[in-house]
Structures are given as structure tokens and as C-alpha cells.
Amino acid sequence: MNRDAKIFVAGHKGFVGSAIVRTLHQRGYNRLILKTKPELDLRDSLQVQYLFRKEQPDYVFLAAAKVGGIAANRDVPADFIRDNLMIQQNVIDASYQSDVKKLLFLGSACIYPKLAPQPLKEQYLLTGALDETNEPYAIAKIAGIKMCQAYNKQYNTRYITAIPTSLYGPTNHFDMQTSHVMPALIRKFHEAAQRNLPQVEIGERGTARHEFLHVDDLANACLYLMEHYEDCDIVNVGAGEDISIRELAEKIKTITGYNGEIVYTAAQPDGTSGKLVDATKINGLGWQAKIGLNEGIRSAYAWFIQNESLLSK
């Protein structure tokens, strides 16, 4: 991409989108098209078409999505499938109508079958039943992948798809009840340290394993793929290794300065191990994750401390 290219980052205020914007600015890309939700409803096809006709972007990073945890997916499944299908359809088709040079679509590791063997290979897509807890969201993401591939086949477009593993880092959601395991543990240990609590309780045995990728590594991978990848097939983006909850808790305990005891109550069965993706393909293209887990947790924790007063409101 030329430094003077016009780049539309859909979802630039989100966790992934904001990381992509940070990385673009660091690389000297300053002609960015950034619209907030009040300025542009991506579910409205007329608004999206108008934006593309007016701005004529050269490249598009489609990071916008309706996301949420298990409870949200359970309570409003229609919202998840409808909103994501609308966002994807509108942006992908407007990109074609406006002759966008290249588009990168962000998928999710939840697209893979629930019982697929790990590490998850790209060819496992559509080989089995999905996890029912987020099936509407996963189906919408799969539809976005297939839409990109169909446009490439019929219209000779250059639309690619990246599939990240579990993400963490600055601007994450740090609510202990609704956020993912990494930010929830960071907040739990931080508050225990601040209150000088004698122990931190984790309601499982801690044997479940998860893979974590720093969101800035994902943003770096997205730019790398935009510049180096042209095939229709999806590409996993991962760190290449996983870690048990016990090991993760010990790391976070050290980084937050907590001096108490960790107690595993086994009040609940261990959660399902997180999806470890096979990153062989992207590694073969010349990209690898650079941010180690200790360094990454420190950066996420530093951001949390800086923004704690806002997060508590």
C-alpha cells in the first residue's frame, strides 16, 4: 500500500479496529477514513454506499462487528446474525461497487467446528457442527468469508480473510463478570492487590488451556497480509502456543504485584480449552507474533491502570 492511499477502517473504535488504526499511523498511513457509529450506521446500505462514493477508499479493513459473550449470544441471537450479515454485506458490496483495490475481512476462531482437533487448521472450516453458544455469530462470520470468496471468483476482486485466535491488550473489556478470561483475571488480581486480600479465588481447577494473541500483533498481521497475501483461502493468525489458566494466573499475579495465595475451588468444572489455531500458513508467508505473553500482559495491565477510573463508571 502506498503511504498516500485512502484506507477505510470499519469499526475503528473497537478493540481490533483501534489497534489497526494505531499500527497504520505508526507506519505512516495518515489518509484514514474513520467514522463513528453516530456518523455512519454500517447496517444501513444507503449510508455505506454514500460513504464509498464520496470517499473512494483504496483499501478497506473490515473490523466492524456486533460482538458479545455467551449471555449476549444467548439472549439476542437474532441481533448477532442480522447485524453482522448486514454490516458485512454492505461493506463488501460497496467495496466492489467503488473498485476498492483490496479488502481484509476479520473472522473469528469460533467459525471452526466445536469438536475439531487442535491446533485448528484452515481446512477444518465447515467440517462439523459449530459451538451452539455462539452459532449465530459464527454463521454470520462464515457467510462473510464465503461472500469475499464468491466476489473474488465472480468479479476478480482481492478480498482476503484473517482468522485470529483469542485476543488481549489495550482497550480490552475488563469486567470480571462479562469479559474474557485474560482481562477478567487482570482486574481480579489488581483489585486483590489494592485491597491486600489474603487470597484470590478461581472457581475451577485451572487446567483448561487457552491461546492468547496481543491485539497489536493481530494488527501487524493484518497489514502484513494486506501487503503480501492474495489467495482466497482464509489465514489463521495466532501466537503458536497455549497456556493453562494456572500458568496464566501465576504470570498475572507477578505482574500485578499481588502477594497473596491463589485458591482453585473447583466450584465449577474447568471451562473448555480455548481454540489454539495452526499458524503454519501465515508463518510460512514470513509473519510471526512478536509480543511475548509477559510483555503483552504488562502492556494490557498498564492500559487498565491508566483507564481504571473510566472503566469503573
- Binding-site members for substrate are 188, 270
Q: How many angstroms separate the Cα of 123 from the Cα of each of 113, 119, 128, 235?
A: 11, 11, 11, 10
**Does the annotation mark 137 as catalytic?**
yes
Cell of 76: 439476542
| 3-class DSSP state of 60 | strand
Q: Which of 29, 59, 112, 137 is catalytic?
A: 137
φ, ψ for residue 304, nearest 5 deg: -60, -45
Amino acid at 45: S
48 φ, ψ (degrees, to nearest 5):
-65, -45
C-alpha span between 265 and 286 (Å, rounded):
43
Alpha-helix residue ranges (DSSP H) falling in 105-238: 135-155, 181-195, 215-228
Annotated binding site: 11-17, 141, 180, 188, 270
- Integer CA distances (angstroms), 300 to 6, 60, 184, 252, 295, in order: 30, 27, 12, 11, 9
> Which secondary structure element, helix H or strand E, spans residue 203, and what is its range?
none
Catalytic machinery residues = 137
